[in-house]
Amino acid sequence: MNWQDHISFDPEVCHGKACIRGTRVLISVILDNLAAGLTHGEILKEYPSITEEHIRAAMAYAADLAHERVLPSSQGAA
């Protein structure tokens, strides 16, 4: 999956935040809904301008971001 085909960053749309290309549906909104336990079907019903492929693109984008940096662990800190 090439998420770049589905996600845009345009300063004129949603203040440049990542969103589904051609919409104002933020990637963070899709990911928040997934994290809250909503099914793909529920998200698609709530946001009819997106597709199943868009949801997969949002997840692929998040996966790429997770590889970009390492956050310090709070475990073991005294």
Q: Give the chain's domain count.
A: 1
pLDDT in tens, the chain (78 residues): 799 999 999 999 999 999 999 999 999 999 999 999 999 999 999 999 999 999 999 999 999 998 866 666 666 555
CATH assignment at residue 27: 1.10.10.10
The type of residue at 48 is: P
Continuous segment of H or E residues that includes residue 52: helix 52-68
Give the pLDDT of residue 73.
63
At residue 34, what is the residue type? L
Residue ranges making up the domain that contains 41: 3-65
pTM attached to this predicted model: 0.83
78 part of a folded domain? no
7 by DSSP, 3-state: which?
A: strand
pLDDT recorded at residue 6? 97
Q: Flag whether 74 is in a domain.
A: no
Between helices 27-35 and 52-68, what is the axis angle to 10°? Answer: 90
User: Is the residue at 75 inside a domain?
Assistant: no
Inside any domain, residue 70: no
Please state, in angstroms and rounded to a whole number, the distance separating the CA atoms of residues 61 and 50: 16
In a domain, 50, yes or no: yes
Q: Is 43 domain-assigned?
A: yes
76 within domain boundaries: no
